[in-house]
Structure 1
Amino acid sequence: MPVLPGAEPYRHEGGDVGVLLCHGFTGSPQSLRPWAEYLAARDLTVSLPLLPGHGTRWEDMQITGWQDWYAEVDRALRELGERCGKVFVFGLSMGGTLALRLAAKHGHAVSGVAVVNPGNKVHGLSAYALPLARHLVRTTNGLRSDIALAGSEEVGYDRVPLHAAHSLRNFFRLVDGELPQVTQPLLLMRSPQDHVVPPADSARILGRVSSTDIREVVLEQSYHVATLDHDAERIFEESHAFIGRLAPNVGKKGSTTGG
């Protein structure tokens, strides 16, 4: 199945410090591509994989679940670990949740975590209906391009497969129980006006992780997909400063590959 234009995975061979970026549920690498390119231009080795079932059509996502999405970022992290002396994991929305689980599971192999509007729970009455509804209805309306910046669009699905949504709900519950295992430095960036993930999710995450080195940044001018919004440059700069503080030995530039 052809990948949607802009949704291709991205890879840049840079120096000895690596960054893994994880995109969100029903989204694609396009939402994080500017962030990845910013880091790549600053001598970092960057990996931005396309999660299974994403970036093509929603029917492909219907047959995937959290185990598939996590396996892909876990593989990408191990690959970066073989290549780099230090590795950081970043993520948007569910990608932030994936990043937090990687930190919980891989310990010292992850040097730091930066997340933007991370998810922790499927909210509303619909969450309780998912176990049954997914057998009766295939999809529901998606919420794509929750972006304040005029003209900025997210490449992703406008339908949400309910089987995948049910798996996401289970994944959030699993990771919530694992958050105390997260001990790495944490940079959490959140939008007060987020129409997808409420501020309560960030508050829950901050209250449950065991990290002692925590920085919280409020993205006042952006909605959920803040990496494509007014505060994008601030996200890029904050995350690069975060890496620079923890890994000052950023290596030399390499070559870029996409797709």
Structure 2
Amino acid sequence: MPVLPGAEPYRHEGGEVGVLLCHGFTGSPQSLRPWAEHHAAHGLTVSLPLLPGHGTRWEDMQLTGWQDWYAEVDRELRLLRERCARVFVAGLSMGGALALRLAAKHGEGVAGVVVVNPANRVHGLSAYALPVARHLVRTRKGIASDIAKPGAAELGYDRVPLHAAHSLRTFFRLLDGELPQVTQPLLLLHSARDHVVPPADSARLLSRVSSRDVTEVVLEQSHHVATLDFDADRIFEESLAFMGRLAPSVGKEGTASVG
């Protein structure tokens, strides 16, 4: 299936500091494209992949699971590590969970982690019903475009495939046991009013990781897809400053052409 216009992956060849950006469940690179372009403009090497089953139609996502999504970001991280001296991982929602697992697994190969409204659980009755419901019902209502800013929209599926949601639930359970392996500096930004991921998810992540250098930022004006919302510029600036503190060459290397 052709990729939806705007959902294409994005890459930028910049300097010796790289960042891997991971989009969310049923979403696409479109939700993180402004963030990627901001960091590219400041000289970073940027990779924003399209996760398997995303960015086309929800039926394609039915055929994928967390192992496919994680394998894609793991491959991209390995490519960045070959190219860059320091590499950061970042993500929105499920993308934040993927970034945290990369940090847990790659250790010193990841210089720091930035997560925005990171997900840690499938909540509500659906969490318990999924193992059975996925065999009876193919989809439920989508979760895209939880944004406070008028006129802003996320390019994501209007349906959630339940087989994929069940796989996501399995992934969250796996990751929860691996969070103590996360030791890197961590910047966590979460919205005060998020209708997709509750604050409890961020609180649990902070209680589980072993990072000692932790910064928590509350985004007062945004909903779940904060990277397209009122606080987007703050996310971009806070994450760039975080990376600049840990890799002082950030923002001082000039820029290259965007590919």
Q: Distance in 1 between matches of 2:52 and 2:238?
A: 29
- The corresponding residue for 2:165 is 165
- The corresponding residue for 1:97 is 97
Q: Does 1:214 align with 2:201?
A: no
Structure 2 SS opposite 1:239:
helix
CA distances 1:54-97 after superposition (whole Å, capped 9, x unpaired): 00000000000000000000000000000000000000000000
- The corresponding residue for 1:255 is 257
Q: Distance in 2 between matches of 1:248 and 1:255?
A: 22
Q: Distance in 2 between matches of 1:39 and 1:22?
A: 14
Moved over 6 A (4+): none
- Which amino acid is 1:132 matched to? V
Q: Bigger shift: 244-253 or 155-164?
A: 244-253
- The corresponding residue for 1:148 is 148
Residue identity (%): 80
Q: Distance in 2 between matches of 1:254 and 1:228?
A: 25
Gaps of 5+ in 1: none
- Which amino acid is 2:237 matched to? E
Structure 2 SS opposite 1:135:
coil
TM-score, normalization: structure 2?
Answer: 0.99
Gaps of 5+ in 2: none
Instruction: Let me know the Cα RMSD of the aligned residues.
Output: 0.5
- Which amino acid is 1:164 matched to? A
Please report how far the alpha carbon of residue 36 of structure 1 lies from its aligned counterpart in structure 2 after TM superposition.
0.1
- The corresponding residue for 1:85 is 85
Structure 2 SS opposite 1:90:
strand
Q: Distance in 1 between matches of 2:120 and 2:164?
A: 16
- The corresponding residue for 1:118 is 118
- The corresponding residue for 2:223 is 223
Q: Distance in 1 between matches of 2:124 and 2:158?
A: 19
- The corresponding residue for 1:43 is 43
- The corresponding residue for 2:198 is 198
- The corresponding residue for 2:53 is 53
Q: Distance in 1 between matches of 2:188 and 2:202?
A: 8
Please report how far the alpha carbon of residue 107 of structure 1 lies from its aligned counterpart in structure 2 after TM superposition.
0.1
Structure 2 SS opposite 1:11:
strand
1:182-193 aligned within 5 A: 182-193=182-193
Q: Does 1:31 align with 2:31?
A: yes
Number of residue pairs matched by the alignment: 257
CA distances 1:175-211 after superposition (whole Å, capped 9, x unpaired): 0100000000000000010000000000000000000
TM-score, normalization: structure 1?
Answer: 0.99
Please report how far the alpha carbon of residue 256 of structure 1 lies from its aligned counterpart in structure 2 after TM superposition.
1.1
Q: Distance in 2 between matches of 1:84 and 1:130?
A: 41
Structure 2 SS opposite 1:88:
strand
Please report how far the alpha carbon of residue 5 of structure 1 lies from its aligned counterpart in structure 2 after TM superposition.
1.1
- The corresponding residue for 2:63 is 63
CA distances 1:131-162 after superposition (whole Å, capped 9, x unpaired): 01101111111121000000000001010000
Q: Distance in 2 between matches of 1:249 and 1:103?
A: 21
Q: Does 1:4 align with 2:11?
A: no
Please report how far the alpha carbon of residue 252 of structure 1 lies from its aligned counterpart in structure 2 after TM superposition.
3.6
Q: Distance in 2 between matches of 1:5 and 1:221?
A: 28
Please report how far the alpha carbon of residue 255 of structure 1 lies from its aligned counterpart in structure 2 after TM superposition.
2.0
Structure 1 SS opposite 2:113:
strand
Structure 2 SS opposite 1:202:
helix
Q: Distance in 2 between matches of 1:212 and 1:103?
A: 14
